[in-house]
């Protein structure tokens, strides 16, 4: 029998994305049949959030714990089977909760794309998680569920159709619309500050296998796209902002699944900008914009000005209309060593970072609470390796995503 009071606790429910998650959970599951709770550091803010829900929210439990208070976080962990956390930048606030989950055997998912922090958490707490049975799954938002599950879906189809995995997969972002929140910007800027403080970190972040276990043995060269033309996609390519996160998670999935995608697996992500001269110009503009943004945020007075006057602040983000009208369309093209091709399309019906991310991480938490085999060992997993097909099913049924095999 499960002695925990809650199935799922949403920690950081008052964050920009946490509020969207809370509203989604309330609308999708109500507050009576599912045993879930909202948590954060401010009771007043949590109560305001609770008041903003439907009247059925009177049974929703509200819990408080500061992100630096290990004792309070441990109490929180003892009360629930799964914790979903949005308290970020995770590098600044996330470690005590991961520690508490690993020590208490509590399953955990989050939205971090801070690869250096993920690596540090793996190094520090993997053994503890294995011992306690806690299943830890980072990157359960737009980075990196569509990429990680898209590759998993494509490889399953390749195995079924061709009897082997694709050794190369290129993902192209065909359409994307949405914006960035203050929390995401704070996480990106914090990472820039960390790189300036520790130049070795730049090298670590440049390693496509940085999040794989140390004995991964992968040697295939991986590319970072700047501007290029893709003959298969018949399109110019520009950098994709999330590629540095998603590619690392996908390679970790390959490592954790016993190299199911192959020893020399190649994976790349880019933005498709079109076939024409205009597509080429757009790709060049995007690549230059990307470089300039990185350069500007690396210079401390410019970063200060951007933070102070231009970029979204913590608690801010895309408007409800932008979330509702947003969408994404990702195209995956895989090829086996013998040249057989598999094409897959993954789409989402809201802005990727918030409207859609809120639904994705909620379903990841539901999957952790209700679907996975409770004998599955503890440790640091990826969305595809721990939640895989069941999550894909949930995303299609409850979260507005589609996964579709396209004709060759």
Ligand X SMILES: NC(=O)c1ccc[n+]([C@@H]2O[C@H](COP(=O)([O-])OP(=O)(O)OC[C@H]3O[C@@H](n4cnc5c(N)ncnc54)[C@H](OP(=O)(O)O)[C@@H]3O)[C@@H](O)[C@H]2O)c1
Least spacing, CB of residue 217 vs ligand X, in Å: 28
C-beta separation of 104 from 128 below 8 A: no
Least spacing, CB of residue 94 vs ligand X, in Å: 8
Residue 400 interacts with ligand X (CB under 6 A): yes or no:
no
Please state, as a whole number, how many other Cβ atoms lie within 10 Å of the Cβ of residue 62: 15
Nearer to ligand X, 16 or 240 (CB): 16
C-beta separation of 83 from 107 below 8 A: yes
Across 198-340, the runs of DSSP E, i.e. the strands, are: 228-230, 235-238, 266-274, 327-335
Residue 314 interacts with ligand X (CB under 6 A): yes or no:
yes
Determine if the peptide bond prior to 100 is cis (ω within 30°): no
C-beta separation of 360 from 394 below 8 A: no
Nearer to ligand X, 135 or 350 (CB): 350
Task: Figure out which of the listed residues 63, 87, 241, 391 binds ligand X, where binding follows CB under 6 A.
Answer: 87
Nearer to ligand X, 121 or 342 (CB): 121
Residue 79 Cα distances to 11, 69, 229, 255, angstroms: 13, 16, 53, 33
Nearer to ligand X, 156 or 248 (CB): 248
Nearer to ligand X, 42 or 276 (CB): 42
Binding mask 56-85 for ligand X (x = CB under 6 A): ----------xxx-----------------
The distance in angstroms from the start CA to the end CA of the chain is 49
- Helix residue spans in 67-210 (DSSP H): 70-78, 90-93, 95-104, 115-132, 145-162, 182-197, 199-206
Residue 90 interacts with ligand X (CB under 6 A): yes or no:
yes
Total residues contacting ligand X (rule CB under 6 A)?
A: 35
C-beta separation of 15 from 87 below 8 A: yes
Nearer to ligand X, 102 or 242 (CB): 242
Residue 328 Cα distances to 62, 193, 234, 236, 256, angstroms: 34, 30, 19, 18, 28
**Judging by beta carbons within 10 Å of its beta carbon (0-12, 13-18, 19+), is residue 280 exposed, middle or buried?**
middle
Binding mask 12-41 for ligand X (x = CB under 6 A): x-xxxxx---------------------xx
Residue 380 interacts with ligand X (CB under 6 A): yes or no:
no
Which residues from 340-369 bind ligand X, rule CB under 6 A?
A: 353-354, 357
Least spacing, CB of residue 69 vs ligand X, in Å: 8
Residue 108 interacts with ligand X (CB under 6 A): yes or no:
no
Task: Figure out which of the listed residues 182, 220, 284, 396 binds ligand X, where binding follows CB under 6 A.
Answer: 182
Contact positions toward ligand X, by CB under 6 A? 12, 14-18, 40-42, 45, 66-68, 86-90, 93, 111, 113, 141-143, 181-184, 187, 314-315, 317, 353-354, 357
């Amino acid at each position: 029998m499960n002695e925990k009071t809650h199935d799922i606790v949403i920690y950081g429910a008052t964050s920009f994305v946490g509020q969207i998650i809370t509203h989604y959970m309330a609308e999708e599951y109500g507050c009576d049949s599912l045993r879930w709770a909202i948590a954060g550091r401010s009771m007043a803010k949590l109560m305001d959030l609770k008041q903003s829900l439907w009247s059925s929210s009177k049974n929703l439990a509200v819990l408080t714990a500061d992100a630096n208070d290990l004792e309070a976080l441990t109490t929180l962990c003892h009360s629930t089977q799964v914790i979903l956390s949005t308290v970020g930048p995770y590098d600044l606030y996330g470690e005590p909760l991961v520690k508490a989950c690993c020590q208490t055997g509590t399953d955990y998912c989050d939205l971090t794309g801070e690869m250096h922090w993920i690596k540090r958490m793996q190094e520090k707490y993997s053994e503890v998680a294995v011992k306690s049975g806690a299943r830890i799954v980072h990157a359960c938002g737009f980075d990196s569920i569509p990429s990680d599950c898209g590759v998993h879906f494509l490889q399953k189809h390749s195995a079924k159709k061709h009897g082997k995995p694709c050794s190369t997969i290129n993902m192209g972002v065909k359409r994307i619309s949405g914006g960035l929140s203050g929390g995401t910007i704070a996480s990106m800027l914090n990472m820039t500050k960390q790189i300036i403080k520790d130049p070795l970190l730049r090298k670590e972040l440049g390693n496509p296998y940085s999040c794989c276990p140390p004995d991964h043995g992968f040697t295939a060269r991986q590319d970072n796209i700047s501007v290029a033309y893709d003959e298969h996609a018949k399109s110019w390519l520009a950098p994709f902002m999330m590629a540095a996160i998603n590619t690392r998670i996908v390679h970790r999935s390959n490592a954790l699944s016993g190299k199911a995608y192959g020893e020399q697996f190649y994976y790349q992500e880019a933005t498709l900008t079109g076939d024409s001269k205009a597509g080429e110009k757009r790709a060049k503009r995007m690549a230059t914009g990307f470089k300039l943004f990185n350069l500007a945020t690396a210079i401390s007075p410019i970063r200060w000005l951007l933070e102070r006057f231009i970029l979204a602040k913590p608690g801010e983000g895309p408007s409800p209309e932008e979330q509702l009208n947003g969408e994404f369309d990702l195209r995956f093209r895989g090829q086996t060593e013998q040249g057989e091709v598999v094409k897959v399309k993954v789409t989402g019906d809201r802005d990727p970072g918030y409207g859609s991310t809120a639904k994705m991480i909620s379903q990841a938490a539901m999957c952790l609470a209700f679907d996975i085999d409770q004998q599955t060992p503890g440790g640091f997993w990826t969305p595809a390796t721990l939640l895989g097909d069941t999550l894909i099913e949930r995303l299609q049924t409850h979260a507005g995503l589609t996964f579709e095999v396209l004709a060759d």
